[in-house]
A and B are shown apart, each in its own frame.
Chain A
Amino acid sequence: MTTLAIHNGRVIDPALGRDGIADVVIVDGRIARVGPNEGDMVVEAERIDATGLIVTPGFVDLHTHLREPGQEHKETIASGTLAAARGGYTTVCAMPNTQPPLDSRAAVESVLREAEISAVVRVLPIGTITRGRAGKELSPAGELANAGVVALSDDGDAVADPSLMRHALEYSTRFGLPIAQHCEDPSLVAGGHMHEGWVATRLGLRGRPASAEETFVARDIALAELAGAHLHICHVSTAGSVALIAAARARGAHVTAEVTPHHLTLTHEEVAFGADYQSARYITNAKVNPPLREEADLEALAIALRDGVIDCIATDHAPHSVADKEIEFDLASPGLTMLETSFGLCMKLVHDGRVPLPTLIERLTIGPVRAWGLDRRPGLEGIGTLAPGALGDVALLDPNADWTVDPSTFASRGRNTPLGGRELRGRVVATIFGGRLVHETDRVVAL
C-alpha cells in the first residue's frame, strides 16, 4: 500500500462544491479521503506540504495534438504528455490528425499501445469523422468506438459537405460519441492566414473572417438539432459564435463548446506587434486557426466561459518545428504550443477579475469531463473530481507565482509560442497522476 498525503492546501473541487483548507490522501493511486487534518490520521505516507497552494483535480484537455504517429519531429506521446504534466494536465484527448490519421482500429490501438509505454499522463484518443480526414466518406465510427475513442473530429479542417456532416452527426448517436467540429468554412478562409481586420489589412495578408466560423457554427447547430446528436464546437473564437451557442443551448440542443487560453487572452495584434507594439512584423508563432481575434471577441469569450455557455478550456496544443514556423507567413504551419502555458495564461482572467478562480478550475477539470461524459466511461469514474475512489489525479497550483515563459525549457518539442519572454502570474507547482508525482518544481516541500 502506498499513501500520499497532501497537507493543508486550499482544496478546490468544483464537482463536489468543495473550497477550503483540507488534506488530500491518495492510497494506491486513488483518492481515499479529503478533509481537514485527514493527512494527520494516516501513519505511513509520503507527505507534501501544500500550505499556500491550491489543490485541484488534475486538468483534462479535450484538444491536444500529440503528433505521433508520423510527425515525431514536432512532438511525441512521451514529450507531449510530459508537457501536459508540466501544465497540470493528467488527461489529454489526442487529436487524430496524425500520419496516418486515426481512422481505423489499428491506428487507434497503435496510439494506445505507445501511450501505455511512454505516456506520462492519460491519453484518450479521438477518431476522425471522415476517412483519411478527406471529408468525403464516413470513418468507421463503430470500429473506432470499440477501439476506445472518446469523440470524433477532423480538427484542422472542418467537415465542409453539409450532407456528410449531417450523416456523421446522425451516425454518431448510435455510439454516443460527440462530433467535435473545427468550424471554419473553407471557401471563406481560402488563402487567409490571420483574422480579417485592420491588422491583416496593414500587413497585406488575406484574412479569415469571423463569419467563416459563425456560418459553420450556425449550420452545424441546425444539423445537430436535426440529427438529435451531440455537437462539440472546437476552439470557439468569436462573439458571434458565443451568441449562437448560447441560443442553441437555451433551446435544449446538445451543443458543447471549448475555448483556448490564447483565444481568451490574445488578439490579432499579436501577429504584427507581439508584446511591445513597435513597428509591424510577421510573427508566425501567433498564426493559428481559427485566428486570434479582436478585443470584443475576447470579452464575449470570457463572459461565456464564466457563465458556462462555454463548457471548458481546451489547449489546442499544436506543436510545430522551428522549420515549420521560420518561413514565409503564408507557408507557416498554424498552431501554438500551449500545454505548459495554459494555466498561467488563463489566470490572467482571474487576476483581471473576470472569472472567479473556482470557476476557472471547474472549466479545466469537471467542465470538460461533463462536456463529453468522460466519467461515464469504464475506468474513468470520478475523473475530474477528488471524490473518494476517484483517480488519484491532482494539480498543485500557485496562483500568484510570477514566472517568465522560456520556450527553450519546454518539455514539448514545440517552441512555437508568441509568449516567449513574457511574464505570467500563476504556476503549476506539481502534478500527481494516479498517486505519483509526474511533475514537481522546487516549490514542492516534502514533509
Chain B
Amino acid sequence: MTAEVARTPQSTVETPEWNHQHILDLDDFSVAEIETVLSLADRMREVLDRRIPRVPALRGYTVVNLFFEPSTRTRASFELAGKVLGADVLSVTASTSSVTKGESLIDTVRTLRAMRTDAIVMRHSMSGAPYLAAAHTEASIINAGDGSHAHPTQALLDLYTMRSRIGDLRGKRVVMVGDISHSRVARSDMWGLAAMGADVVVCGPPTLLPRGLRAGDRPAHAESAMPPVTVETDIDRALDGADVVMALRLQSERQDGGLLPSLHEYAQLYQVTQERLKRAKPNHLLMHPGPKNEGVEIAGTVAAGRNSIIEEQVTNGVAVRMALLYLLSGRTEAPGGVPGGEMRS
C-alpha cells in the first residue's frame, strides 16, 4: 500500500467489536464493527503481501462458494482469501434453473451444513435469498451479492480502499454514477459510507434512480431507515468537488428494457470522462466495482488513469474477505493477534 492511515490502534483483534454470525448487508453493522473489519484487513493485507502468502489460521475451516449467478472476480477473491488462510474452499456453481423452488435453496444450504461446512459464500439473482438461507442453517452465510439488494463484502473493500488512501471519510464527497436502481454495490456502499460519515451522492438517469432515496420520499419515522444520500441526475453537478468517484457497471439489458434510449446516449450523458473529472478534486480517487464496460460508463483513459485505484480494490478485496472469514470463524488463538503469526515467512 502506498499511503499509510493515521488510525488509532484501539480496535485490536484481541477485543474486536464483532457480533455477526452472518454477513448479509451493512445495514446492521455498527461503526465499531466496520472498524474491526478494516483493521483486521490491514493485517490480512500484510499477510497477503508476503513472499509466500499462506498461514494456517483457518486450517480445518470449510468454506463453500455457492454461486447461483456467474461471477469471476468475487468467486476467485473468496477462494483465494480462504486458501491464504489455510481453509478448505470448494466452489459450487448451482444453475438457477435447478433452483426454481425455495425448498431447494433451503435444502442445499442444509445439505452443505450437514457436510460440516462452516461458511457458505452465496451469490444469488434474487434479493433477500441469503436471508432465507441464513434462517435455515447454522453455517455462516456471507452474501456475495443478492439481486439488486446488497453486496456487503464489496462495500467493505471499498471502504477499506478509500480509508487506506484518504483516511477519515467524514465529510468526504463520494459520488456513485450509474445504474443505482439495479446496483447492489451502490446500496451496500451507501450504508457503509453513511456509517463512516461520508457525504454520499448518487447520480444517474431518472429511469435508473429508485424511489425513496430522497429523505422527503419517506415518512419522518423512517428517516433513518435509509442512509442519507444526495440524488443528482446531472453528472457535472454530481462530480463537483468529489473526493471519490465510483462508476457503476451499466448492463446492456437496460436498453432492451426501455429504461434507456441507447448505450450511446447514456455514454454521452453519464460516462465518467477525463473532461468531466476536472470538476472533481484534483487528487480524487477513481473506483469501479467491476466488471467494467469501458466506453460506456467509464472512459478507458480514466480507468487506466493516474487517479484510478481499481486494481487496488481488487487486491484489497482478498484481504477484506480474509478478515471476514477469520472473524466469522470465531478463532482468536493466533499469537499476537496476527492470525497465523507463528508462520511469518
Contact = CB atoms under 8 A, between A and B. Distances in A.
Contacts of B102: 323, 326-328, 331-332
A362 interface: no
Contact of B28 (A202, A279, A282): A279
A198 B217 contact: yes
A279 B150 CA distance: 14
Interface stretch (B42-50, B126-134, B270-278, B323-331): B126-134
Contacts of B212: 197-202
A327 B226 CA distance: 25
Nearest to B227: A202
Interface in A183-227: 196-207
Interface band, chain A: 20 to 34
Contacts of B25: 280
Interface string B134-163: 000000000000111110000000000000
A432 B215 CA distance: 51
B187 interface: yes
A201 B226 contact: yes
Contacts of B222: 198, 269
B103 A328 contact: no
B106 A326 contact: yes
B225 interface: yes
Contacts of B226: 198, 201-202
B219 interface: yes
A196 B222 CA distance: 15
A205 B128 contact: yes
B51 interface: no
Given A282-B131, A327-B101, A331-B102, A202 B225 contact: yes
Given A199-B212, A203-B149, A331 B101 contact: yes
Interface in A232-254: none
A207 B106 CA distance: 25
A329 interface: yes
Contacts of B150: 204
A14 to B, nearest CB: 34
B173 interface: no
A330 B126 contact: yes
A295 interface: yes
Contacts of A201: 210-213, 226
Given A198-B211, A200-B212, A204-B148, A330 B127 contact: yes
A281 interface: yes
Interface in A326-364: 326-332
B211 A196 contact: yes
Interface of A: 196-207, 269, 279-282, 294-295, 323, 326-332
Interface of B: 25, 27-28, 100-103, 105-106, 124, 126-129, 131-132, 146-150, 184, 187, 210-213, 217-219, 222, 225-226
12 contacts: A197-B211, A198-B217, A202-B212, A202-B225, A203-B127, A206-B148, A207-B211, A280-B25, A328-B128, A329-B126, A330-B126, A330-B127
Q: Top 7 closest A-B pairs, CB basis?
A: A198-B212, A327-B102, A204-B149, A282-B128, A204-B148, A204-B127, A201-B210
